[in-house]
Amino acid sequence: MPVAYRNQHYAELKKQHNKENLFEDPEFPATNSSLYYKKPPPGVVQWKRPGEICENPHLFVEGISSHDLNQGIVGNCWFVAACACLALKSNLWEKVIPDWKEQEWDSNYAGIFHFRFWIFGEWIDVVIDDRLPTSNGQLIYCQSKQNNEFWSALLEKAYAKLFGCYESLAGGNTGDAVVDFSGAVVEAIDLQKEKYYADQNKQDKIFEDLLKAWNRGGIISSSIKPQGFRLESRTDNGLVRGHAYSVTDVKRVRLGHGLRAYFKNETIPLIRLRNPWGKTEWTGAWSDSSEEWSKIGDTERGNLGITVADDGEFWMSFTDWCKNFSDADVCRLINTSLISIQKNWDEAVNFGKWTRNSDPLLNRCGGCVNHRQTFLQNPQYLFDVTKESDEVLISLQQKDRKIYRKEGQGDNLSMGFNILKVEVNRKYRLHDLVTQQLLHTSTYIDARTVFMRCELPKGRYVVIPTTFDAFIEGEFMLRLYTDVDSGCRYETDGTSRKIQTLSSRCHTSSFFYLRQNLSPLPFSLLKMCPFFLSHQ
């Protein structure tokens, strides 16, 4: 069950209010403290309910679409891009916007709404009232193209409540917001550092990877580093630097016309993006009215839904995407279901802390491997690869620190992790570091999440999550995915503790706990589990 944020239970509160007694949220009041901590928005701000802004307000107008919303004055294009991605995935937005039919304006309207976010391993239910900040009768922040549609503005308000105020949402990462909408695993890709634009083989490989992620329900976004240019300045081909774009499609498109095109079977990889501003588009090859579209048959063009309009959405070749964008976030919904026709992963999750102690035996914040004297004082997690070779995915996530921006301490910790190979019979913590043990080192960066995928041969390993500097305290979540049960466990000097799954921690069902901890249960016994019976 979701956790009620600040112990505010939506169903109970709604029963206490009605049209004559509209809900006013004491935990996020209609005051300046909910707007900003440093820089006030321009103009005179008035808090208004949707019914005071327009006639006939709705949560959704003609359904939900990535075209619904546009960025307001706060610099949160990253959040708006994530919302546009969310709108494309009904299985996700129906979790984030629960009871969406019941929340529509009707006779039960009471000025109260609720939304859910996946925060550090658990779903949090956030209650808000519908008083929204306006200036000159217009919404200041996120808004829909239809002036009587309010799902995006209300969702943004709930997210701002989580992090203290609207200004705390100025500057962020699209991938982080997508994770908060889904519980996905995010992989950050540096397109320029890896030089995908210059290596056709690497480019082909990453396209197939993104196409697979997209077709399996993944969410992708990309951006351009300013690199000395002014933030949100425009390139010669219409793209905006320092700006987050949501990817709205990834396709191999057939070139040619008629039957000849099918027999020739020549294709080109294309990618579609959307600017959260709802305008300002790419003007290069494959843009809305470019001559390249003449290479594609009418049927194929119809399938792609080509529109010539400055609506912020556009196609471009994958090669041009690799050349022009510097960063991409790929959010994958990792399949851990036991019953699936797609590849399923075994998941191990641990919630840990970097804690400081003057006793070296108890200190657990030793810093990266540069600090050789203290490195092995960090938390250590032992796991096994039981196949001859296995692909391993590791995600290290720290607690989001935007809530501390009001206190001037909102920066992420610089962190990463190391993978070490150890003896197959090792049971306890490492105390001596041998250089040959170090197999892989992740990037160390002040991002909320650090991700790595690697192929490991059969054997026993230790993964050590660390901050870059020694004696820095913080909390983290370590997720490890393998093809079969890795037996991942936290290592101490006297005992080891098997890592429980995220599913069992959140009490989704005892079925997941059985799956992880009593793995080879007979199929006949698994069929007795209520969760199994209800999901056949």
Please tell me the predicted confidence (pLDDT) of residue 511.
Answer: 30
The answer to whether 68 and 151 are in contact (CB under 8 A) is yes
Residue ranges and CATH numbers for the domains of the chain are 3-182 (no CATH), 185-332 (3.90.70.10), 346-499 (2.60.120.380)
Q: Quick one: which of 394, 305, 400 has its CA closest to 348?
A: 394
pLDDT at 336 (0 to 100): 81
Q: DSSP E strands: which ranges in 181-234?
A: 185-190, 219-223
Q: Is the dihedral of CA 17, 19, 23, 24 positive or negative?
A: negative
Q: What tokens were used for 58?
A: 């709705």
Closest by CA to 384, choosing from 459, 319, 317, is 459
Q: What is the pLDDT of residues 91-114, one digit of tens each?
A: 899 999 999 999 999 888 999 999
pLDDT by residue, tens only, the chain of 536 residues = 899 999 999 999 999 999 999 999 999 999 999 999 999 998 899 999 999 999 999 999 988 877 777 777 766 788 888 988 888 888 899 999 999 999 999 888 999 999 999 999 999 999 999 999 999 888 999 888 888 999 999 999 999 999 999 999 988 899 999 999 999 999 999 999 989 999 999 999 999 999 999 998 899 999 999 887 777 789 999 999 988 899 999 999 888 876 776 677 789 999 999 988 778 899 999 998 899 998 888 777 777 776 666 688 999 999 999 999 999 999 998 888 766 667 789 999 999 999 999 999 999 999 999 999 999 999 999 999 999 999 999 999 999 999 888 888 889 999 999 999 999 999 889 999 987 789 999 999 999 999 999 999 999 999 999 999 999 999 999 999 999 999 999 977 655 565 554 443 433 333 333 333 333 333 333 333 333 233 33
Separation of alpha carbons 100 and 116, rounded Å: 12
**pLDDT at 339 (0 to 100):** 66
Cα Rg for the chain, rounded, in angstroms? 25
Please enumerate in sequence order all residues whose Cβ is within 8 A of that of 217, keeping only pairs 6 or more positions apart, or say none.
Answer: 89, 91, 333
Instruction: Report the candidate in 354, 459, 438 with the shortest Cα–Cα distance to residue 396.
Output: 354
* CA 57 – CA 73 distance, rounded (Å): 22
H helix runs in 266-378, sequence order: 298-304, 318-324
The predicted structure's pLDDT at residue 301? 77
Nearest to 36 by CA among 73, 80, 64: 73
pLDDT computed for residue 493 by the predictor: 67
pLDDT score, position 437: 87
State the pLDDT at residue 344. Answer: 83
Q: Evaluate the CA torsion angle 79, 84, 89, 95 in order and state its sign.
A: positive
Predicted local distance difference test score (pLDDT) of residue 520: 39
pLDDT, residue 525, reads 37
Q: What is the pLDDT of residue 261?
A: 64
Residue closest to 115 by CA, chosen among 102, 106, 104, 128? 128
Measure the CA–CA gap between 376 and 373, rounded to whole angstroms. 8
* Catalytic residue (choose from 70, 76, 77, 368): 77
User: What's residue 280's pLDDT?
Assistant: 87
Other Cβ atoms within 10 Å of 386 Cβ, number? 15
The total number of residues shown for the chain amounts to 536
Q: How far apart are CA 355 and CA 184, in angstroms?
A: 27
**Is 77 designated active site?**
yes
d(Cα 204, Cα 199) in Å, to the nearest integer? 9
> Whose structure tokens read 């995928």?
453
β-sheet bridge partners, residue 480:
348, 394
- Residue 504 is predicted with a pLDDT of 37
- What does residue 297 show for φ and ψ, rounded to 5 degrees? -65, 160
Q: Which two tokens stand for residue 133?
A: 């900040």
Token pair for residue 209? 């990877």
Question: Can you give 60-123 as a three-state secondary structure string?
Answer: CCCCCCCCCEECCCCCCHHHHHHHHHHHCCHHHHHHHCCCCCCCCCCCCCCCEEEEEEEECCEE
Q: Say which residues have a Cβ less than 8 Å from residue 251's Cβ, sequence separation at least 6.
A: 211, 269, 270, 271, 272, 304
Catalytic residue among 76, 173, 275, 350: 275
The DSSP result for 374-428, as a single string, is TGGGS--EEEEEEEEEEEEEEEEEEPP-GGGGGGT--PPPPEEEEEEEE-TT--S
pLDDT tens profile 327-367:
999 999 888 876 666 778 999 999 999 999 999 999 999 99
Count the neighbouring beta carbons within 10 Å of the beta carbon of residue 445: 15
| Cβ neighbours around 443 below 10 Å, total | 14
Active site residue 507: no
Q: Which residues pair with 234 in a beta bridge?
A: 240
Tokens of 466: 């660390």
Q: Tell me if residue 309 falls in helix, strand or coil.
A: coil
Q: CA end-to-end span of the chain, whole Å?
A: 22
* Annotated catalytic residue within 114, 243, 322, 350: 243
| Interior angle at CA 253, CA 195 and CA 284, nearest 5 | 55
Reply yes or no on whether 371 is catalytic: no
